[in-house]
Amino acid sequence: MEAINNFLLLLDSYLGSAGWFPYVLLGVGVFFTLYLGFPQIRFFKHAWKVVTGRFDKKGAQGDTSHFQALSTALSGTVGTGNIGGVALAIFLGGPAALFWMWITAFLGMTTKFVEVTLSHKYRVQTEDGTMAGGPMYYMDRRLNMKWLAVIFAIATIISSFGTGNMPQINNIAQSMEMSFGLDPMLTGGILAILLALVIIGGISRIAAVTSKIVPIMGVLYIIGSLSVILFNLDQIGPSFAAIFSNAFTGSAATGGFLGATFAYAFNRGVNRGLFSNEAGQGSAPIAHASARADEPVSEGMVSILEPFIDTIVICTLTGLVILSSGVWSEKHENTFSRTDLEIVSGAYVDTNEADRTALYHYLNGTEENTIEKYTGTIAVENGKAVSNGYTILHARSVAENVRFIVAGEDPYTGTLRIDNGQLRKEDIVIVGDSLVHSAALTSLAFGKGFLGDMGEYIVPISLLLFAFSTAIAWSYYGDRAVVYLFGQRGVMPYRIIYVAGFFVASFADTTLVWTLSYVAIVLMTLPNLLGIVLLRREMKDTVKAYWQDFDAEQSKKKESE
């Protein structure tokens, strides 16, 4: 299992985590933004009018309203990435990562406009009378590239488990256990039953549920965010200054944060931006293909709002909560994760400028790095290290007040072997002060507002709503991919497996599936980006025809009035 996981990580290093991937993603966004004349700006106001149903026509084919399609797509994008993903991006890349998330969202508004329009245009009606669409249909029906459509559909099914299903319930279950002491299996069992009741009803029930959940969770999260931002209003200016000042040069060291190179800030911001709003991935077009509309461009207009709401609004709120509260650069007591733990040779303190510089080069892997990983022993008495010649790093920061604990609560005494920077004794738990990241960081930040410590409960509650709604939406994405590959007969078996996987992942290790999803996301994104670029001229002609017909209809209405 470990060998497979390592192979997938290696494969991902050449794909989604490779340096070229963000440039491809942003490059396509830049191209269409210029090619179509900044549609995310020109069509933004019109998009709001479309989503409210102002231009709806009776008798239009489809299963959902514009608003329900938007809600379903948003429920798929607004998830753990908006809570823990933003915190992880800031942790790895500093405040500048948020700037690149904005850029990804701004360009992604155009990318999503294109992919949704084309997917809606080539959707089909299935055996049961519902609509099915997505990039696999335009790849097949328009580009005659069935092989590419099959790759995309298979990757979508894998991603439905690795992105929308298992990690979501795993995060929910862990959060509920930490915050309220609920057994993960109990949480998984209850939510699996609710998930089954929703998705078995198909897109109609999914849309009905998501159209209610999304507004509720959005309002709750916005109110909670503002309670922190307004409480720390004097830090909003410095927060924006930190975001912009290091956007093109890397993030400067602040507090326990030892700084990040431009590459770290750029890559983490772009990758988290894609993970959050999914623009270019080709998932949201599957939801939008269900919308009642005869003009594909009108649904494309609606999708422009997604990256704006998901990233420019919700992710920005999360980022400002984290930055204005100051917790992102502060050390907090926590139990150290082995994956975030490194032990290096030499004694370093992050209050010394020379040491900070040396650690910066080590953590960011620059050519100037002179620090090596420690191999040797650590002498420990009553839980505290008494030997020298090494520095314990956790979560990219110098760990302080470190304690070694064995058998649950007993302080350890003895000698610990360190090989290439890693502690080999498995039954040792390490506790101390260090930076924290992901949802834990966001949770700490929400406790620094008007609500005090009660604010920390906003994160597990929001995580529950965000992650559960994501699982609902992704079940539909996988559902439509199954229909494309196997027909209607494959839908019910897929739904049963999806619910079963959801339950198991609440208490099981999902590392392998999560790693597999990294690769699957790229296998969705690259074919989709290739497809929309190949259909660039058709896209421009389709938009031009839409506005000609729209202007003609509006003229007729005015004449009749």
Q: Tell me: the pLDDT tens digits for 379-405? A: 999 999 998 999 999 999 999 999 999
Say if residue 471 is in the same domain as residue 528: yes
- Beta strands at 131-132 and 397-398: parallel, antiparallel or unpaired: unpaired
- Condensed to tens digits (0 to 9), the pLDDT of residues 221-267 reads 999 999 999 999 999 999 999 999 888 888 888 888 888 888 878 88
> Is 54 part of any domain?
no
Confidence label for 58 from pLDDT (cuts 50, 70 and 90): confident
Q: Is 263 inside a domain boundary? A: yes
Q: Are residues 215 and 143 in the same domain?
A: yes
Residue 79's contacts (CB-CB under 8 Å, 6 or more residues apart) are 164, 168, 466, 467, 469, 470
Looking at the structure of the chain, the number of domains it has is 2
Residue 193 within a domain: yes
pLDDT of residue 405: 93
224 and 237 fall within a common domain? yes
Q: Calculate the average pLDDT of the chain.
A: 89
Structural domain includes residue 67: no
Q: How confident is the model at residue 372 (pLDDT cuts 50, 70, 90)?
A: very high
Do residues 325 and 349 share a domain?
Answer: no
Residue pair 109/90 in contact (Cβ under 8 Å)? The answer is: no
Residues 299, 167: one domain?
Answer: yes
294 with 344, same domain: the answer is no
Q: Of 301, 269, 315, which is closest to residue 40 (Cα–Cα)?
A: 301
C-alpha to C-alpha distance for 507 and 412, rounded to whole angstroms: 29
Measured CA to CA, the distance from residue 185 to residue 173 in angstroms comes to 8
CB 506, CB 174: distance < 8 Å = no
Q: Which amino acid is at 494?
A: Y
Same domain, 482 and 373: no
User: How far from 526 is each of 21, 73, 160, 454, 500, CA to CA, in Å?
Assistant: 9, 20, 17, 43, 30
The answer to whether 253 touches 259, Cβ cutoff 8 Å, is yes
Q: Is the pLDDT of residue 431 over 70?
A: yes
pLDDT of amino acid 174: 81
Tell me, yes or no, whether 80 lies in a domain.
no
DSSP H helices in 278-416:
284-288, 296-303, 305-307, 316-325, 353-363
Q: Determine, yes or no, domain membership for 229.
A: yes
Does 511 score more than 70 pLDDT? Answer: no
Helix, coil or strand: residue 254: strand
- Please check whether residue 392 is in contact with residue 345, taking contact to mean a CB–CB distance below 8 angstroms: no
Residues 390 and 306 in one domain: no
Same domain, yes or no, for 317 and 340?
Answer: no
Calculate mean pLDDT across residues 526-540: 95
Is 65 a member of any domain?
no
pLDDT score for 427: 86
| 484 and 470, same domain (yes or no) | yes
Q: Which domain holds residue 39?
A: 20-49+94-330+446-553
Q: Which of 411, 434, 457 is where one domain is finished?
A: 434
pLDDT tens digits, 493-509: 999 999 999 999 888 86
Q: CATH code at 176? A: 1.20.1740
Q: Does a structural domain hold residue 9?
A: no
pTM (two decimals): 0.89
Last residue of a domain, one of 402, 434, 466: 434
d(CA 224, CA 82): 14
Are 357 and 492 found together in one domain?
A: no
* 210 and 282 part of one domain: yes
Q: Which of 382, 405, 434 is the last residue in one of the domains?
A: 434
Sheet containing strand 332-335, edge to edge, reads 332-335, 428-434, 400-406, 410-411
